[in-house]
Chains A and B, each alone.
Chain A
Amino acid sequence: MTQELRILTPQGMLGYGVPAEHFWRGIESGVDAMIVDSGSTDPGPYLLGLGKTIVTREAYARDVSLMLEAAWKHKIPLIISSAGGAGTDAQVDFMIDLIRELSAANGYRFKLAAIYSSVDRATIHARLREGRITECGPSGTLAPSAIDDAVEIVAQIGAEPFAKVLTERPDVDIIVSGRSYDPAPHAALCMTRGFEPGVYWHMGKIVECGAACAEPKGRVIKATIRKDSFDLEPMNPAERCTPLSVAAHTLYEKGRPDILPGPGGALHLANAKYEALDSRRTRVSGGVFVPTNKYSVKLEGASIVGYRTIFIGGLRDPVLIGQLDAFLANVRKRAEGIFPQLVSGEASMMFHVYGRDAVMGEMEPLRHVVPHEVGLMGEVTAPTQDLANDICNSTRIAVLHSAYPGQMATAGNFAIPLNPPETPTGPVCKFSVYHLMEVDSPTDMFPVRYMEI
């Protein structure tokens, strides 16, 4: 059995740019695998709802080219998880198509496995009827209509489907997966070697973000894992993984610092230890993985809620800014008189007042401070783009020309930088499914396809 496993993570997000010098330093130092995550819900539901990718095909090609060269020349296996951002079946195929094109251009040949994660609606409906779907955090109860309204629903792949491919077909060079729990491929590689689950899940959680755990925050990181601990080293010599920087990163984007739930169990970190090996490397141990009785996967689904049109501009008049809420309420009231859809709820209107509370809304403690200038973005969402355009246009004109008490500037209220002054921005999505679904086996939701390219 291999005593140690060395994993290079070239970037926390595929397509954000891999510094070639640091990447090759990692490859030449000797590694057993390259693993890179490509997905996130952080950019919002549009990736899933509109089938968009996080970066352009060209940006993916720049990063993937380096990894394919290393995979071909050094025979190092590569795993790309959550392909394209949302990890839909179409985005897995998009990534495979890109790999095929780049490989053909360079004369590379690979054995490739694809793991898909789109879930059919009938399965989800059945599990909902069986009472085997629960909310994930404060996402609310899942309504059957939300399953039907979603454009696409994916389930997060855990470690087991990756481990199955690695065990069944050890000759596979590249795995491209659909939506995956971020640390899953890192964990899967270790799972096949008999390491402690608490150690490898903790490693996966940290390095799926690349060298984000380093000071300063970096990109390429190498993890060396053994049965009961792992070491982290950023591949940029100017960066350092210190016990504090690594411990702090463990908190990142997680609801709790001490218990991190995932498919099949939770990682408990209350007794985690972080020790400096030298000024740039840290050794981590002590994480404990506690399996759950029932294995659940996270479902992510997005639906289209309408079409949006916006306007932006600025207000500088102290008489107007001093009564801005009343003024905007008046503008809204006028619009509601013209467009009954704003009253019925089919359409919505929102004003973002930059310089006052646009960023934090009702959470803003300094909302009462009256600024000398504010930016105003009007946002209208309606069932059709035409209606959104109509409401937005009418509202923008009202902001420009409505009268208000004490008005001295009778020529207009609103400084508009853009021409034309309104901008249709297209469909608006929302996360309509974000729930946990029990599965009979960790692998049964995720079909695998093998191919040679």
Chain B
Amino acid sequence: MSEVPLRELAQVIRSKNAGPFELTFDVIFDRKAAYEEVKASGALTAEKLAALYNIPVDDILVAMFFDPAMAFKMTVKRRWQQGSSGERDTFGAAQHAPLMDIMIPSRSNLRTSDPAS
């Protein structure tokens, strides 16, 4: 079994404000096999994502897969005030990048593109 970065399995990886006090992250798939493989991998859990983002696991308000949209969603408490003194990302739209390189143990050849070609 090889490991594949999440960005090669998902179609959309994004972050955004969900109101001024929460940040929400979406990972959306366009292929059922890739979605099921990531879901089964156990790579996207609140504990692992808390460690990746260096935040307390209690600040992760939602971390769940949602089959109807073939999507994973995580919502966390915002670490700083939205649009006020000390803001880093007003729209919260640039907080997703660490998700892209999460390595997923992959049995099958599900990459969106073959990097060798």
Q: Which residues from chain A sit less than 8 Å from chain B, CB to CB?
A: 41-46, 136-139, 244, 247-248, 250-258, 269-270, 272-274, 305-306, 308, 348, 350, 352, 358-365, 379, 381, 428-431, 434
Contacts and interface: CB of A to CB of B under 8 A. Distances in A.
B1 interface: no
Contact of A254 (B24, B53, B78, B81): B24
Among B17, B54, B85, B88, chain A packs the most CB atoms within 10 A around the CB of B85
Contacts of B91: 42-43
Interface in B59-117: 61-62, 64, 66, 68-71, 73, 75, 77-91, 94-95, 98
Contact of A434 (B18, B21, B24, B28): B21
Interface residues of A, dominant DSSP: loop
B52 interface: yes
Contacts, number: 143
A202 to B, nearest CB: 12
Contact of B71 (A257, A305, A364, A428): A257
A363 B55 contact: yes
Among B17, B69, B79, B98, chain A packs the most CB atoms within 10 A around the CB of B69
A253 B69 contact: no
B95 to A, nearest CB: 6
Contacts of A251: 24, 26, 28, 66, 69, 71, 73
B62 A255 contact: yes
B19 interface: yes
A253 B61 contact: no
A428 B84 CA distance: 6
A379 B21 contact: no
B68 A272 contact: yes
A253 B17 CA distance: 6
B108 to A, nearest CB: 20
Nearest to B80: A361
Contacts of A44: 20, 82-84, 87, 90
B63 to A, nearest CB: 11
A381 to B, nearest CB: 4
Nearest to B51: A365
B30 interface: yes
B12 interface: yes
Contact of A255 (B55, B68, B75): B75
A139 B21 contact: yes
Given A348-B85, A350-B85, 6 more contacts: A41-B20, A138-B77, A257-B66, A359-B88, A428-B85, A434-B20
A439 B95 CA distance: 36
Nearest to A44: B83
Given A44-B87, A365-B53, A244 B94 contact: no
A201 to B, nearest CB: 16
Contacts of B21: 136-139, 431, 434
13 contacts: A41-B20, A45-B83, A137-B22, A247-B71, A255-B61, A256-B64, A258-B64, A350-B86, A361-B79, A431-B21, A431-B81, A431-B82, A434-B19
B90 A43 contact: yes
Interface residues of B, number: 44
B19 A269 contact: no
B56 to A, nearest CB: 11
B28 A358 contact: no
Contacts of A431: 20-21, 81-84
B44 to A, nearest CB: 14
Among A248, A269, A359, chain B packs the most CB atoms within 10 A around the CB of A248
A360 B88 contact: yes
A305 B85 CA distance: 8
Nearest to A246: B69
Contact of A362 (B61, B79, B82): B79
A373 B13 CA distance: 28
Contacts of B19: 41, 136-137, 255, 434
A360 B20 contact: no
A359 B89 contact: yes
A320 B68 CA distance: 51
A360 B83 CA distance: 14
Given A365-B54, A381-B85, A428-B85, A256 B20 contact: no
Nearest to A434: B20
B7 interface: no
Contacts of B26: 248, 251-252
Interface string B9-33: 0001000111111101010101000
B78 to A, nearest CB: 8
Nearest to A259: B62
